[in-house]
Structure 1
Amino acid sequence: MATPQTPYDAVLHAARDVTRLDTALDAEMLGAALLGSVYAIAETDRERAVREFVAGFLAATSRRRTAAATTIRSVFAALVPDAEGAAKVRPGTQAPAWSGQLGRVHLTGAWSYGDVYGDQTSYLATFAYDDATGGPEHALVALVDHNIGITKDVFVGGPAERILEQVRQMCATDDLTWFREEDPARMHGEVSRHLTVTDDLGDLPGEGSIATDRALVGARLAVLPGAPADTLTWDAEPLTGEERTELVRAFLASPEAVRAGLHALDGDAELASLHFCLGLLFDHAASFPDADPLRWSPAVAGLFLLDWVHRRAVLDMDDAAMLPRVLRAWTAFAGHRRGLPEQAVSRTDEAIEELVPEFARLYSTGERRSPATAAVAQLMADGVDPDDPAALDAWIEANRQRLGDDTP
C-alpha cells in the first residue's frame, strides 16, 4: 500500500480493520487510541485539538464509501459529538451489526476511593450498552491528584465487575484507604474540572493511558448527570487573618506543640523563627488548589521540605533548625484535628524524620534555590539590610553583573 499522504489517510489506514472488531466498545477503544496521538502531540488545549482534528477528518472523508471509512467516521462522531459535522454522520450500508450501539450506554454505578490524607481520589463508574450487541459492561477509572491539581490518569476497560471487586478488596485490606459510593454528578464535575487542567499541560504525566483513553473518557463523562456548581470552579481561599490567628493559637495550646516544646520558647529570636516557620506552612498550603493548611501527608511534607521551601523562602540557621521541629508538631496537630487514624499521623511523622537529612543538605548547598531566593540569601549573607534603600541599591549595583542585570 502507498504511504499515507495526510494524517487523515494515516488514520484510515490504521482503522482499516475496524469492521472486523467484535463490539462497539472495541471500536470506541480503537477510535480513542487513534485520537490519542493527536491529544499527545498537541501543545495546549488538547481537547480542542482533538475536536478540530475530528472535524477536519469528517470533512476530508465525507465522500469515502468503504465500510472501514464510514465506520470509523461513526466511531469518531460518537466519541466527539460536539465536533463540527459529527451530527450529520450516518452509518454506511455495510456497517457492522454493533454500529448502532456506538456511544449508547447508561450508567450502572459510581464509586470513589482514595487515601485518608487527601493526596489522591480515584473515581470509578460502570456503564452498560443499551443493547448487548454493543459489548460488555465496562468501567471508567479516573485518578485525581490533589497535590498538583490534575486528573493524572484515566482508564476504560473491563470486565466492570472484576475491576470493581479488585478495588473493593484493595481498599478493604488497607487501613489508610477509603471506599464509598459516589454521586455521579459530583464525579462528573471533579474529574472534568481536573481534566481541563490536564488538557492544557505542556507535558502529560509520563505513565498511564491519559492520551489513549481521553476521548472515550470524555464521551462517558457526558453520560453522567450534570455537574454541581461547586465542582466546576476553583473557589478554595486561604484562611483569613483572623482564622489563621485562631488556628495558630489552637496549635500552640495543643499537646503536639507542648511535646515539641513550642509553647514555652525563650527569647525573641526563637519566637520570631517559630512564627516565620508557621507562616511558611500556611503559605505552602495556599499554593495547593484546596488551600487547606491541615492537609498534610508524607508526600506533601516531601514537597515542602525538599522543594517548595528552598525555592520560595530564605532561611537563616535558626529557621532551618526550627522548621522540621515545627513541621512535625504541626502535621501531628493537623492529623488529629482532621480525625486521621493514628497510623496515618505516625507515618507522616516518620517520613519527616527521614527527610530531615536531605533537607539539611539542600539548605547547606542552596542548589534548589530560585534565582530570586538565591539573591536574597546572598544579600543577607553580605549583611545588607533589605529595609535600607540606599544600602540595597548599592548592593545591587555592586552585584549587577553576577545577578545578570543588563540594565545600564
Structure 2
Amino acid sequence: MSTETFSTAVTQARDLLRWRSPLRTELWAARITAGLDPAQIRPFLSELAVDGGPEARLTLVAIAAVNAGRPLSPPGAPGLPDVAAPAGDATAEAGAEVYAEAARGLAGTLAGWVRRMGRVTCEGAWYGKADPYGEQVLAVLSFRYDNGKEPHLLVVGIDQPHGGLAVDALVEEVKFLDDLGLAEAEPGTVAGRILDAFELGDRIMGVQVADTLASVRPLAITRAQGVPGLVRGASDDTLARFRDLPEMQGAREAFEKLAEFVGDRPLWWSPQRVSAFLTSWLPREAILSEAAIAAMPEVVRAWSRFSGDHPAVLRRIDEDAPRLPALMADDSLAGLGKRIAQSRLEP
C-alpha cells in the first residue's frame, strides 16, 4: 500500500508535468526533502523506483536536482539521509549520491524541460541590511536557467545577534529586489556567506528560525555551492570603508577597540549594541589611554553616522557616553582577561 507521502508526491507531480516549470518543480522537491525524516528517505525512493511512472520519475529527478550540493549538516539532521557526514569528511558526498543514484538515467525518459532543473547561471549578487539596525542582513543571489527563462532570486536572511546564522530563506521574483536597497557584491563572496550561515545554524541548537527556512534549504545550498569563485569565511569590508575618523588625539586607538567589538558583523549597529559597547564591553575588556577614553564618544558618533545616522542610536550615545570615564576607572568591572593584561603592565 502506498504511503501518504508517496501518494501526495505522485498527485502533485502530475500537475507539475503539465506546468513544465523547472523552478516550480525544484521548489516542490525541496519541500518534499524538508518533510522527510532520515529513516523515510530510502523507503520513499524505493517506492518511487518501483512505481516507475512519469510522476514517480519526475519526483526522483527533481529531488536529486535540489540535493546535488555537498551536505553541510552533521549526521541525522532533518532532510538529509542517514549516510550524510559533516562537511570535510571523506564520505560527505554520500547524501547527494543517494538521491543521484535513485534518479540515474531517468531525466532522459521525461520531457526536455526536466533536464533544465539545476542548470542555472548566477547573474548577480547583493548584500546588506534587512532592517535599519542591521540585526538581520540579506544575502541575495540572482539566477536564470540555461534557456534564459524563469529568472529568480535566492534570498537568505542572516541573523547578526546570534553570530551570523541563517534564519530565513526565500525564492522570489527579480522585482523583489527593487525596494531592498542592497549593495551589489561579488557572487562568490555572497554564496560563501550563505553557506557559512547555514553551516553555523547546523551547529547551534534552539535558535528560532522562520518556518520557510527548511523547505528552501536544500535548494539554497545547492544553488550557492554552484556559484563560480566561491569564497568561504569572507571578511566584511565595511570597517575598511570608514573614512570619517575624528581628528583628535586618541581617536585611532578608540576606533581600534570599536573595530574589535563589531568584529565580523559590522552592519549590526543598534541602540542596544551601542549601549553594550559603552557600558559593558569597554569596561570589561578594554585597556585604553585617557586620550582614547576621551575620544571614544566622538568616534562612536562618527561610526554611527556612517552606519545609518539613526536618531535612536545617537540618543543612546548621548545617554551612555558621559558615564564612560567612571566605568573605565571602576576596576571591579574588569573581566579576567583585562585584569591579567593589566597586571602584566604594572611595574
Equivalences for residues 75-94 of structure 1 within 5 A: 75-81=62-68, 82=93, 83-88=96-101, 89=103, 90-91=105-106
Kept in 2, the 8 Å contact 1:110–1:123? The answer is: yes
Q: Residues 354, 214 of structure 1: CA spacing in aligned structure 2 closer, same or farther, 3 A cutoff?
A: farther
AA paired with 1:28? Answer: E
Q: Secondary structure at the match of 2:229?
A: coil
AA paired with 2:312? Answer: R
Kept in 2, the 8 Å contact 1:142–1:154? The answer is: yes
Q: Secondary structure at the match of 1:15?
A: helix
**Structure 2: gaps (5+ residues):** 69-92, 237-248, 285-291, 322-331, 334-347
**Structure 1: gaps (5+ residues):** 42-48, 172-178, 236-248, 255-280, 314-325, 357-375, 378-408
Instruction: Give the corresponding residue for 1:213.
Output: 216
Identity score, percent:
21
Instruction: Give the corresponding residue for 1:184.
Output: 187
Per-residue deviation at 1:347?
2.8
Residue range with higher mean Cα deviation, 201-210 or 21-30: 201-210
Alpha-carbon deviations, 1:50-85, whole Å to 9, x = none? xx8656643564333122221111111001125223
AA paired with 2:66? Answer: L
Q: Residues 91, 305 of structure 1: CA spacing in aligned structure 2 closer, same or farther, 3 A cutoff?
A: farther
Instruction: Give the corresponding residue for 2:299.
Output: 333
Q: Residues 28, 113 of structure 1: CA spacing in aligned structure 2 closer, same or farther, 3 A cutoff?
A: same
Q: Residues 223, 233 of structure 1: CA spacing in aligned structure 2 closer, same or farther, 3 A cutoff?
A: closer
Aligned length: 276
Q: Secondary structure at the match of 1:197?
A: helix
Measured in 2, the distance between the counterparts of 1:198 and 1:100 equals 32
Instruction: Give the corresponding residue for 1:290.
Output: 264
Answering whether residue 198 of structure 2 is matched by residue 232 of structure 1, we say no
Instruction: Give the corresponding residue for 1:350.
Output: 315
Answering whether residue 182 of structure 2 is matched by residue 166 of structure 1, we say no
Kept in 2, the 8 Å contact 1:58–1:73? The answer is: yes
Which of 29, 48, 60 is equivalent to 2:27?
29
Alpha-carbon deviations, 1:11-46, whole Å to 9, x = none? 3223122131211111111111122234xx8xxxxx
Equivalences for residues 237-386 of structure 1 within 5 A: 250-251=250-251, 290=264, 296-301=269-274, 330=296, 332-337=298-303, 340=306, 344=309, 346-351=311-316
Per-residue deviation at 1:201?
3.2
Alpha-carbon deviations, 1:85-119, whole Å to 9, x = none? 33332326863552121111111222223268654
Q: Secondary structure at the match of 2:31?
A: helix
Kept in 2, the 8 Å contact 1:155–1:213? The answer is: yes
Instruction: Give the corresponding residue for 1:20.
Output: 15
Q: Residues 106, 14 of structure 1: CA spacing in aligned structure 2 closer, same or farther, 3 A cutoff?
A: same
Alpha-carbon deviations, 1:128-173, whole Å to 9, x = none? 11126xx621111112233332122211122x2x112233xxx3xx
Measured in 1, the distance between the counterparts of 2:155 and 2:319 equals 33
Measured in 1, the distance between the counterparts of 2:275 and 2:145 equals 44
Instruction: Give the corresponding residue for 1:201.
Output: 204
Per-residue deviation at 1:288?
6.8
Measured in 2, the distance between the counterparts of 1:253 and 1:287 equals 13
Q: Residues 288, 166 of structure 1: CA spacing in aligned structure 2 closer, same or farther, 3 A cutoff?
A: closer
Alpha-carbon deviations, 1:286-305, whole Å to 9, x = none? 6876287x974324246679
Q: Residues 305, 55 of structure 1: CA spacing in aligned structure 2 closer, same or farther, 3 A cutoff?
A: farther
Measured in 1, the distance between the counterparts of 2:253 and 2:224 equals 47
Which of 116, 124, 129 is equivalent to 1:109?
124
Q: Secondary structure at the match of 1:131?
A: coil
Q: Residues 121, 93 of structure 1: CA spacing in aligned structure 2 closer, same or farther, 3 A cutoff?
A: closer
Kept in 2, the 8 Å contact 1:55–1:84? The answer is: no
* Structure index of larger Rg: 1
Measured in 2, the distance between the counterparts of 1:74 and 1:210 equals 22
Answering whether residue 155 of structure 2 is matched by residue 141 of structure 1, we say yes
Measured in 1, the distance between the counterparts of 2:219 and 2:265 equals 32
Per-residue deviation at 1:221?
0.8
Kept in 1, the 8 Å contact 2:136–2:268? The answer is: no
Which of 109, 120, 137 is equivalent to 1:121?
137
Q: Secondary structure at the match of 2:309?
A: helix
Measured in 1, the distance between the counterparts of 2:140 and 2:234 equals 22
Measured in 1, the distance between the counterparts of 2:252 and 2:146 equals 59
Measured in 2, the distance between the counterparts of 1:233 and 1:56 equals 40
RMSD: 4.6
Measured in 1, the distance between the counterparts of 2:228 and 2:253 equals 46
Instruction: Give the corresponding residue for 2:71.
Output: none
